Amino acid sequence: ILNVTNIDPDKISIIPHFIKPHQSTDNVEQLDRFVFIGRIAEEKQINHILYAYHNFLKYGFTTKLSIYGRDEFGQQQKVEQLIEELELQDNVEINEFTNNPLLEFQKSKASLLTSSFEGFGLSVMESINVGCPVISYDVRYGPSEIIDHGKNGYLVEQDNISELTKYMKLIIEQPLQNVHTKPELTFESAKQNYKQLFDSIEYSY
């Protein structure tokens, strides 16, 4: 907005997206796996996940990788071909789109995001909201606003596959404890932000 208008920056205020708390299910089976949930599309760069995961396994880990999503423009076939080339057939499973992503996140050690670009990243919020940390490329515009590096996940330099491997290794060796949504992204914070906005413009509600 600032780039294309002459609006005073002091007149612009940003209210972050928010998420309501989710009551985790205590009897969910915990799996030794990473998970990706999203479109199987070129911009998601799932090949980066596979290359990093291939390197991760060289350290002797047995953690699996599960991919959930709908195919777009034949990308799933390319993903499957790369799985075969890297000989990961016994370690990686591809599943159809899930209607219950929160459950799949809750089962997992961490979720992964290697997109070349993102919107706000609802899947990142959902993952953290059920206690599943996120390892994500630090791309514009959402991950850095949602992930508190070292507390509820890790931000990785964009397209840095070796660094992605490093944090996959770290999160298995030293699991993050008490993974929570950042306070400013909670429903209660959003209500307060909107109240302050309406009060500032003297809106009657």
Pairing status of strand 64-68 against strand 134-137: unpaired
Can you spell out the DSSP letters for 77-101?
HHHHHHHHHTT-TTTEEEE---S-H
- C-alpha triplet 29, 146, 16: angle, nearest 5°: 125
Q: Domain spans of the chain?
A: 28-180
Lowest pLDDT segment from 122-126, 147-151, 195-199: 195-199
How many CB atoms are located within 10 Å of the residue 154 CB? Answer: 24
Average pLDDT over residues 112-125: 84
Compute the half-sphere exposure of residue 13: CA atoms within 13 Å on the CB side of its CA: 10
- CATH class label, 28-180: alpha beta
Q: Which amino acid does the sequence have at 65?
A: L
Q: Over the stretch 15-44, which tens digit does the pLDDT of each residue have?
A: 556 566 666 666 889 999 999 999 999 999
d(CA 24, CA 14): 30
Task: Determine phi and psi for 14, rounding to 5 degrees.
Answer: -110, 125
| Collapsed DSSP state (helix, strand, coil) of residue 112 | strand
pTM higher than 0.75, yes or no? yes
Q: Over the stretch 58-70, which tens digit does the pLDDT of each residue have?
A: 999 999 999 999 9
Q: Which residue in 48, 155, 137, 66 sits closest to 104, CA to CA?
A: 66
